[in-house]
Chain A
């Protein structure tokens, strides 16, 4: 059954990516990348990687599409025609693709229990998660404790992206443009009844689902990253429906920046506190007299930090683009 699904989804993926390359209308391309992300999420899901599927659906198909559209609103919809260079690019991609396919000839069969990936460190993770954390989701255990340092790094990648957008789009646009255009209030879709009604109904559930993923990460798929992205999508939807200013009234810019900084620092300071309490950096076991509770507490706090940072960063990036749109 998985085989049939996989063939279906993967051939759709190929068709979508060819269409993305061929189209010259950037709006179409953005929509197609969104579809690509959804297909990818479905693919991850049938491979039993629910955590990754959630992230891909929320970030890839949701937030990225909105940000791409904001960028298109600032630039233009059509690609500039380019004649040279396309052929070389195609040849290069073809060579790389065949190399990678060649590399997979010797790959262990999908799901082979004897594959090195399943033989070496995976059994250790499965065994130690119950022993040290006492909760069922091994993925959460790996991401937030066994390889928590990587996750801290990823949070700082998100932080870097956020300050990068704020820094670069923070330049005031050339003055003459601003004089010519009256600043008009972005009203969103307030005059469209159907999106309004549906949106109002859906938004609370999106945010609630985000909170569920945040606090239920130890037991089911999810965690701070997914939760942050899902909550951000909910608020972005609100901004699209009610106008950006309404959303900013609800959650002002300073709060968003505070969430990014606070989230990143919260994660980092848990690590530093572990050091002060006699462990290594991010060694949560020392946080409490009972090492299992220590691990759980540490994971809970750092996941909260991740959620805050991701949600704040995505929203800050969105508002930075949207503000630019209103001015120029």
Chain B
């Protein structure tokens, strides 16, 4: 059998089938090792697919050998290649580092189930990304959501349970809205395959069901993507989840929903609905701007480290959406590049949080005073990833901020207003990142708390690797840029 041709399917099937096996790996540490190997293999497959896409391939796969609108097709294009790299990379990175932190937070006998849920979450997210079928996306959305509820509730923090219940309610509403939308489109076009939908939706004469479907799908996915003001589930879910789960989910979970949102709006609705581009921009741009400003402001006054970073994530989702709402090549490339760079920066920051949490039970900023003397390497990675989050030249974050500003300037007189907002929110980011640095470096340590040593080497090494990647992609951004430009071209072509 030709492995390369099967890659799109194997990418989903290997982590998915490994989940039941994880439950069987009862002896100490074995489940972790198995999960890490699977995640690394997935990452290797994603990298192979991305290289293929860069060489001009767009792999397609027909499940069960049935042709496209009848069976379920998988497809990998430049946009999904970026997302695949983010999901598998975040999972592999987090798992490589996970052992010390998870051993501390999850009882040993429950760990096999924990890693099984992790594999399911990863398989679900990958399944959404490679699916070319609207209903199949829903199925894998269910797998990934259920598994992430399990993961978030997995820690010793009992406050995670109400948080996860809120997330579950919101997530279920979001998924149901998406399903209602898909049902309405199916009613009018008779197909579930996205490409086929794109072709057939033009022939629909009664447009009202399609309009309502567009509304339901956009709002449902915005709920799952934590777009302001539908983000209320994020801060608590991220804060009380086990630290390694936060690393994984913060780096990729909301982004996958955002990916489906952008893909659906561009490929299916944009070209067929009159003025949909205007409505899309008018609807999403204000939400994005408000999200950026308000979430950044909340982050500036937040006292808890994880909650602060969660608020900042909501603001970053705003950036990604703002770029996408320009409907231009530059805007979309900025959007895709920022998906990638934000995963790097936020993943690194949450990894550093996991390092700190290994020694600090309480992660409020005023408890973390003087951490830099005992944990210099961890604090250095916080600084580097923080700079990348702000968008200082030389870090990955700068590339996306630069693209974002160039894209805003393209859209005419309003562009200056947007640039002003972007600069203002960057200043706010400086303020909240500074508060973290101030606490770590310049505050006096609190009596009785504080580490005696650095975080375990396994955790620290991965954290430093991610920090280094933030710098690397700041100087050599060619690969993500090339993929992003190609993705933007593909989306705009679909929107014509």
Give A contacts to B, CB under 8 Å: 99-100, 102-108, 115-122, 124-125, 128, 145-150, 152-154, 156-157, 159-161, 163-164, 166-168, 170-171, 257, 260-261, 264-265, 268-269, 271-272, 275-276, 278-285
Rounded to whole angstroms, the CA-CA distance of A268 and B23 in the bound complex is 16
Q: Is the CB of A124 within 8 A of B190?
A: no
Rounded to whole angstroms, the CA-CA distance of A280 and B69 in the bound complex is 16
Q: Is the CB of B66 within 8 A of A146?
A: yes
Cβ-neighbour of A117 out of B23, B190, B208 (below 8 A): B190
Given contacts A150-B72, A280-B9, contact A156 B16 (CB under 8 A): yes
Rounded to whole angstroms, the CA-CA distance of A152 and B123 in the bound complex is 12
For B1, list chain A residues within 8 Å (CB). Answer: 275-276, 278
Among residues 346 to 404 in chain B, which have CB atoms less than 8 Å away from a CB atom of chain A? none
Looking at B139-147, B272-280, B477-485, the stretch in contact with chain A turns out to be B139-147
Extra inter-chain contacts (19) besides given A164-B146, A271-B13, A272-B13, CB under 8 Å: A103-B208, A103-B212, A106-B208, A116-B204, A117-B190, A120-B191, A128-B70, A146-B70, A147-B72, A150-B139, A153-B139, A153-B140, A154-B139, A156-B16, A160-B117, A167-B150, A261-B24, A281-B63, A284-B64
For B20, list chain A residues within 8 Å (CB). Answer: 159, 260-261, 264-265
Interface 0/1 of B46-89, CB less than 8 Å to A:
00000000000000011111100111100000000000000000
Rounded to whole angstroms, the CA-CA distance of A5 and B113 in the bound complex is 47
Given contacts A121-B191, A157-B142, A163-B117, contact A282 B64 (CB under 8 A): yes
Q: Is the CB of B9 within 8 A of A160?
A: no
For A120, list chain B residues within 8 Å (CB). Answer: 69, 189-191, 200
Using CB atoms, name the residue of chain B closest to A166: B113
* Shortest CB distance B207–A (Å): 8
* Ranked 7 nearest A-B pairs via Cβ: A106-B206, A116-B190, A120-B190, A103-B212, A153-B139, A283-B65, A149-B63
> 29 A-B contacts, Cβ less than 8 Å apart?
A116-B204, A117-B190, A120-B190, A120-B200, A121-B191, A124-B70, A146-B71, A147-B135, A148-B63, A156-B16, A156-B19, A157-B139, A157-B146, A160-B143, A160-B146, A163-B23, A163-B120, A167-B153, A170-B110, A257-B23, A265-B20, A268-B17, A272-B13, A275-B6, A275-B9, A278-B1, A281-B13, A283-B64, A285-B65
Rounded to whole angstroms, the CA-CA distance of A119 and B204 in the bound complex is 13
Rounded to whole angstroms, the CA-CA distance of A146 and B215 in the bound complex is 30
Q: Is the CB of B187 within 8 A of A164?
A: no
Given contacts A99-B212, A148-B64, A149-B63, contact A167 B120 (CB under 8 A): no
Rounded to whole angstroms, the CA-CA distance of A298 and B213 in the bound complex is 36
For B9, list chain A residues within 8 Å (CB). Answer: 275, 280-281
Q: Is B44 in contact with chain A by the CB < 8 A criterion?
A: no
Cβ-neighbour of A103 out of B13, B65, B204, B209 (below 8 A): B209
For A149, list chain B residues within 8 Å (CB). Answer: 63-64, 71-72, 136
* Shortest CB distance B387–A (Å): 38
Give B contacts to A, CB under 8 Å: 1, 6, 9, 13, 16-17, 19-21, 23-24, 61-66, 69-72, 109-110, 113-114, 116-117, 120, 123, 127, 135-136, 139-140, 142-143, 146-147, 149-150, 153-154, 180, 184, 186-191, 200, 204, 206-209, 211-213, 215
* Shortest CB distance A322–B (Å): 19
* Shortest CB distance A84–B (Å): 16
For A102, list chain B residues within 8 Å (CB). Answer: 208, 212
For A161, list chain B residues within 8 Å (CB). Answer: 146
Using CB atoms, name the residue of chain B closest to A267: B17
Q: Is the CB of B64 within 8 A of A125?
A: no
Rounded to whole angstroms, the CA-CA distance of A100 and B179 in the bound complex is 13
Cβ-neighbour of A159 out of B19, B200, B206 (below 8 A): B19
Rounded to whole angstroms, the CA-CA distance of A145 and B1 in the bound complex is 21
Q: Is the CB of B208 within 8 A of A105?
A: yes
For A146, list chain B residues within 8 Å (CB). Answer: 64, 66, 70-71
Given contacts A102-B208, A153-B143, A265-B20, contact A121 B62 (CB under 8 A): no
Q: Is the CB of A100 within 8 A of B65?
A: no
For A271, list chain B residues within 8 Å (CB). Answer: 13
Rounded to whole angstroms, the CA-CA distance of A119 and B24 in the bound complex is 47
Given contacts A272-B17, A281-B6, contact A156 B123 (CB under 8 A): yes
* Shortest CB distance B163–A (Å): 13
Question: Which residue of B71, B109, B180, B188 has the most chain A CB atoms within 10 A of its CB atom?
Answer: B71
Q: Is the CB of B136 within 8 A of A153?
A: yes
Cβ-neighbour of A121 out of B21, B70, B187 (below 8 A): B70
Q: Is the CB of B63 within 8 A of A282?
A: yes
Using CB atoms, name the residue of chain B closest to A132: B66
Rounded to whole angstroms, the CA-CA distance of A280 and B116 in the bound complex is 26
Rounded to whole angstroms, the CA-CA distance of A279 and B113 in the bound complex is 32
Rounded to whole angstroms, the CA-CA distance of A170 and B23 in the bound complex is 14
* Shortest CB distance A68–B (Å): 16
Rounded to whole angstroms, the CA-CA distance of A156 and B190 in the bound complex is 27
Rounded to whole angstroms, the CA-CA distance of A154 and B16 in the bound complex is 12
Q: Is the CB of A99 within 8 A of B143?
A: no
* Shortest CB distance A94–B (Å): 15
For A160, list chain B residues within 8 Å (CB). Answer: 117, 120, 143, 146-147, 150
* Shortest CB distance A255–B (Å): 14
* Shortest CB distance B87–A (Å): 17
Q: Is the CB of A108 within 8 A of B187?
A: yes
For A122, list chain B residues within 8 Å (CB). Answer: 190
Using CB atoms, name the residue of chain A closest to B121: A160
For B180, list chain A residues within 8 Å (CB). Answer: 100
Rounded to whole angstroms, the CA-CA distance of A104 and B180 in the bound complex is 12
For B154, list chain A residues within 8 Å (CB). Answer: 167
* Shortest CB distance B402–A (Å): 40
* Shortest CB distance B199–A (Å): 11
For B146, list chain A residues within 8 Å (CB). Answer: 157, 160-161, 164
Rounded to whole angstroms, the CA-CA distance of A131 and B288 in the bound complex is 52
Rounded to whole angstroms, the CA-CA distance of A328 and B116 in the bound complex is 27
Rounded to whole angstroms, the CA-CA distance of A265 and B116 in the bound complex is 13
Question: Which residue of A154, A159, A276 has the most chain B CB atoms within 10 A of its CB atom?
Answer: A159
